[in-house]
């Protein structure tokens, strides 16, 4: 690490199986004997600065702006084109003010980079300047500057006073945040200028395919060429534009959706279930802690308007601070003893599951910490217990097929859950292929009841550097099912699932709710025979199980781009039981220039075919 200048677990033993109790006790005994891990550093026990490793940089407001700028510029230069790279970074700002009116701090954020404040409130860290993402210019013949692959970056927990001093006329017109999937904006207070979610200065606006904002106060915002976007529990001074699917949930100042689909807005007055992502902060005594927000029901606006976000504070000494190279045996021993887990930036090879067994455990990743499956392992297993929070973690499939990459609860498990304290996944991302060959049967499997999925991108890669062509990818990067939801009372706010070889999302649990769903069907089926669901042509992008009687979706889109064989058909974008309790609100399909979706849902709706390229087919409500 570069430094510049429990809640009680409850009576968990009564709910653990005999095998589980034995495991916990044996691991505890091994650790107590000193066989699995060294003791926590003295500075960490006393609340001082933990050792977060070499890829976390902590800034202090006493540092010259020029030095901070140089540090961030150097990382951006390395990361701006490092889409499939292995380096991960987190830049954390201690409470204070950075930059001035005459010397603003101009930050550009590249791949696998987190920029976050260390205040208890977003107001505690103020940056005068800009924090931006521009279109990425690819090294192809001719101009090819796009935002469609601007993935994997995080901005959170600070105030930004927009200052464009020193930028040219076009760049001075707004703070640009031109991103796509696996990017989150959280706990921000932005003022002093406009926010644009597209970059119209680099080779035109181009399309972008994001994105997600939560718990933030925003100025007038231009959505521009973003194909889909979810803004949740925030305040906006204004919102303009939108391409296909823009959703607002619990947002003060959100636009009205009465004219849907022109513009394509979907607006919910309140968010039915929410929990903000945990965040690292430094208290008044200089000690490091993690704030874990409480779950909320039927809320709107930011959580920090009237003081500290409701929740609990966990001292950093209650976390095992892991680094790449740490053994899973060591990590599991600390988890079994009741520690929380903080994953510092980097790649972790996981040949056996990390097991989260206690309720209310927090697993927090910094700088897009990445767990990679080895030898067909399931990298992360969460027990059927309430209140677990997993946040800021990316999970990659490995060379040998894994049955699943993240499993929450066992099928027909203990059934111990809580409506008021849901297990929560925040900014948890999945990848099958891209930097290397990846194989899994299922990416995300949720078996527990009362789970909240708050922003995830579940991606079977449509491009990468694995060393084979697009036509070979179908039989090499294999991922059959994206998200499988078997638990009851599961809520998803921001569910992005793409390119799987069977159903991208299968929802079998009762009383499920999804607020914004985005899907691209797989690009790469070689033939129609490869894309058949029995006698049905293709798999719907969103499938609600035949036995489900109550389910609600707000704002859903399924896109088709069968580039390997443009003649391929998919019968329906959405497939749901025909029953009054299953309701789809504001759904659409769209053709991206190859392939055909014959109907929007259950043989209803016109075809998204080659006569309607880029023109969505909307259904306001089904049934």
Choosing from 520, 537, 571, 575, the catalytic residue is: 520
Which residue, 414, 290, 317, is CA-closest to 41?
317
Is the separation of the CB atoms in 186 and 230 below 8 Å?
Answer: no
Instruction: Give the whole-angstrom CA distance, residue 466 versus residue 285.
Output: 48
Task: Work out the angle between the directed axes of helices 328-336 and 18-32 (0-180°, nearest 10).
Answer: 110
Tokens of 609: 């075919």
Is residue 582 helix, strand or coil?
strand
Among this protein's residues, is 132 annotated catalytic? Answer: no
How many whole angstroms separate alpha carbon 213 and alpha carbon 219?
13
Distance of CA 35 to the CA centre of its chain: 36
Measured from the Cβ of residue 486, the count of other Cβ atoms closer than 10 Å reads 19
Those residues with Cβ within 8 angstroms of residue 8's Cβ, 6 or more apart along the chain or in another chain? none
Is residue 219 within 8 A of residue 248, CB to CB? The reply is no
Distinct helix (H) and strand (E) counts, the chain: 5, 47
Ranges of beta strands (E only) in 15-81 are 56-59
Widest distance between CA atoms in the chain: 70
Give the whole-angstrom CA distance, residue 422 versus residue 28.
27
| Count of residues making up the chain | 623
Contact (Cβ atoms closer than 8 angstroms) between residue 449 and residue 410: no
Distance CA 356, CA 360 (A): 10
CA trace torsion 269, 273, 276, 277 (10° rounding): -130
Q: Which two tokens stand for residue 61?
A: 């407001």
**Residue in 364, 442, 372 with CA at minimum distance from that of residue 408:** 442
CA distance 439 to 322: 26
Q: What is the CA radius of gyration of the chain?
A: 23
Sort strands 536-537 and 532-533 into parallel, antiparallel or unpaired. Answer: antiparallel
> What is the rounded CA–CA span in Å between residue 387 and residue 409?
12
Q: Which two tokens stand for residue 140?
A: 């192809």
- Classify residue 567 by burial, with Cβ atoms within 10 Å: 0-12, 13-18, 19+: exposed
Which of the residues are catalytic?
520
């Amino acid at each position: 690490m570069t430094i510049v200048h429990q809640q009680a677990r409850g009576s968990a033993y009564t709910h653990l199986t005999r095998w589980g109790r034995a495991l916990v006790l044996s691991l505890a005994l091994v650790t107590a004997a000193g066989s699995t891990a060294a003791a926590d550093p003295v500075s960490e026990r006393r609340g001082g600065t933990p050792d977060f490793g070499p890829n976390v940089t902590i800034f202090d407001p006493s540092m010259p702006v020029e030095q901070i700028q140089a540090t961030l510029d150097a990382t951006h230069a390395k990361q701006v084109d490092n889409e499939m790279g292995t380096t991960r970074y987190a830049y954390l700002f201690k409470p204070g003010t950075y930059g001035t009116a005459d010397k603003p701090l101009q930050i550009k954020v590249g791949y696998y980079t987190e920029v976050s404040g260390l205040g208890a409130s977003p107001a505690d860290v103020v940056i005068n300047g800009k924090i931006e993402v521009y279109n990425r210019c690819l090294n192809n013949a001719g101009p090819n500057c796009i935002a469609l692959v601007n993935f994997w970056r995080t901005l959170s927990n600070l105030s930004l006073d927009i200052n464009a001093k020193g930028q040219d006329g076009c760049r001075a017109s707004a703070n640009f945040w031109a991103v796509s999937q696996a990017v989150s904006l959280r706990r921000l207070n932005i003022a002093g200028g406009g926010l644009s979610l597209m970059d119209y200065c680099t080779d035109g606006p181009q399309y972008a395919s994001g994105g997600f904002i939560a718990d933030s106060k925003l100025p007038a915002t231009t959505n521009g060429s973003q194909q889909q976007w979810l803004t949740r529990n925030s305040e906006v001074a204004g919102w303009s534009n939108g391409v296909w699917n823009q959703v607002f949930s619990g947002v003060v100042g959100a636009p009205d959706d009465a004219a849907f689909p022109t513009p394509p807005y979907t607006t919910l007055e309140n968010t039915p279930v929410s929990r903000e992502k945990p965040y690292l902060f430094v208290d008044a005594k200089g000690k490091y802690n993690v704030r874990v927000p409480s779950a909320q029901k039927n809320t709107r606006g930011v959580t920090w308007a009237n003081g500290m976000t409701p929740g609990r504070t966990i001292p950093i000494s209650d976390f095992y601070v892991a680094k790449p190279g740490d053994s899973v045996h060591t990590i599991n021993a600390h988890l079994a003893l009741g520690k929380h887990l903080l994953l510092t930036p980097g790649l972790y090879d996981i040949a056996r599951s990390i097991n989260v067994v206690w309720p209310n455990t927090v697993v927090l990743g910094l700088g897009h910490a990445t767990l990679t499956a080895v030898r067909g392992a399931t990298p992360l297993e969460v027990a059927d217990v309430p209140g677990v929070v997993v946040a800021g973690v990316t999970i990659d499939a490995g060379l040998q097929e894994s049955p699943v990459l993240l499993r929450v609860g066992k099928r027909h498990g203990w059934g111990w859950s809580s409506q008021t304290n849901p297990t929560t996944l925040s900014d948890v991302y999945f990848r099958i292929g891209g930097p290397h060959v990846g194989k899994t049967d299922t990416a995300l499997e949720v078996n527990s009841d009362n789970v909240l999925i708050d922003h995830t991108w579940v991606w079977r890669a449509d491009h990468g550097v694995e060393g084979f062509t697009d036509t070979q990818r179908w039989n090499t990067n294999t991922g059959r099912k994206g998200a499988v939801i078997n638990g009851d009372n599961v809520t998803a706010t921001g569910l992005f699932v793409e390119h799987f070889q069977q159903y991208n999302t299968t929802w079998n649990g009762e009383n499920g709710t999804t607020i914004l769903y985005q899907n691209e069907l797989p690009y790469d089926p070689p033939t129609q025979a490869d894309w058949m669901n029995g006698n049905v042509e293709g798999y719907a992008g969103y499938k609600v199980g035949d036995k489900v009687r109550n389910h609600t979706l707000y704002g859903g889109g399924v896109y088709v781009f069968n580039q390997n064989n443009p003649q391929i058909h998919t019968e329906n974008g959405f497939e749901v039981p025909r029953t009054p309790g299953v309701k789809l609100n504001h759904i659409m399909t769209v053709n991206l220039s190859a392939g055909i979706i014959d109907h929007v849902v259950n043989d209803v709706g016109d075809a998204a075919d080659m006569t309607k390229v880029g023109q969505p087919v909307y259904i306001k409500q089904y049934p």
